[in-house]
Amino acid sequence: MAPIKDIDESALKEEARKKLTDYMSEHHQRKTPERYAVLDAVYSFDGLFDADQLYQRLEGQFRVSRASIYTTLDLLARIGLVVRNQMPSKVYYERNIPGQVHFYKACTECGKLERFSNDSMGRLLKEMSVKRFHPSMYSLTVSGLCSKCLSNINRRKKRLDKKKSSKPKADAVAKSGVKEQGKTPIKEKINK
Ligand SMILES: [Zn+2]
């Protein structure tokens, strides 16, 4: 993944922790250490991650159940600290960093997800005004086929075309077989 420039990681994490604390105080929720552990893990990802990857990152450091990971992700999304991204293969999350533009290419065949950058497109997106909406961050996914899957598909297609071009002979045999089978009952009728 392309590194994010000009970001003070610790300040970002501190700010997110403060937002979480404020929200929980306001809503009279228990400030459990699990929630802060999940938040810290979330903010350690530079880019998209799924719930399994988050679980793996927390494993060994903190005992958090998968259920409470999902609950905390929902909470963080409600506060605006995390953004949910529905990709062709599954749901991914990413920390919400105002003003950031992320581009992803998602392969619909193998599910591979990769970040790429496009400065001119990023500038265009930021300049775009969205009616009756105040954008914070931008995420754009380009779905399609990765080069590996595309070459696999092309190879498969070539093999299939080769088979097809050598098939007419086999087709003729099959057709004559059908004809003979059709004839048999008539012959039997005549004999009777
Ligand atoms: Zn692929």
Q: What percent of the chain has pLDDT over 90?
A: 57
Give residue-wise pLDDT tens across range 97-110.
888 898 999 998 99
In the chain, how many domains are there? 2
Residue numbers of the domain that contains 163 = 150-191
64 plus 138 within the same structural domain: yes
Return the CA Rg of the chain: 28
> Quick one: pLDDT band at residue 174, thresholds 50, 70, 90?
low
Q: Ligand 1 center to residue 69 CA distance, Å? A: 28
More confident residue, 171 or 63: 63
Q: Ligand 1 center to residue 181 CA distance, Å? A: 46
Q: For residue 52, what is the domain's CATH number? A: 1.10.10.10
Question: What is the pLDDT at residue 55?
Answer: 95
139 plus 48 within the same structural domain: yes
Average pLDDT over residues 182-192: 45
79 plus 126 within the same structural domain: yes
Give residue-wise pLDDT tens across range 100-146.
898 999 998 998 888 899 999 999 999 988 899 998 888 888 999 99
132 plus 40 within the same structural domain: yes
* Cα 123 from Cα 59, distance rounded (Å): 38
More confident residue, 156 or 4: 156
Secondary structure of residue 116 in the 3-state scheme: strand
Q: Ligand 1 center to residue 123 CA distance, Å? A: 28
32 plus 116 within the same structural domain: yes
Question: What is the pLDDT at residue 183?
Answer: 44
Pair of tokens at residue 186: 């008539």
Average pLDDT over residues 63-80: 93
Pair of tokens at residue 112: 């591979």
Q: Ligand 1 center to residue 151 CA distance, Å? A: 10
Measured CA to CA in angstroms, residue 38 lies from 10, 19, 100, 164, 178 at distances of: 16, 14, 22, 55, 67
Mean pLDDT, the chain, integer: 85
Answer yes or no: is 122 within a domain: yes
Protein residues with C-beta less than 5 angstroms from the ion ligand 1? 107, 109-110, 112, 146, 149
Give residue-wise pLDDT tens across range 19-58.
999 999 999 999 999 999 999 999 999 889 999 999 999 9
* Cα 37 from Cα 169, distance rounded (Å): 67
Q: Is the pTM of this model over 0.75?
A: no
Pick left, alpha or beta for residue 140 (phi over 0 → left; psi -120 to 50 → alpha; otherwise beta).
beta
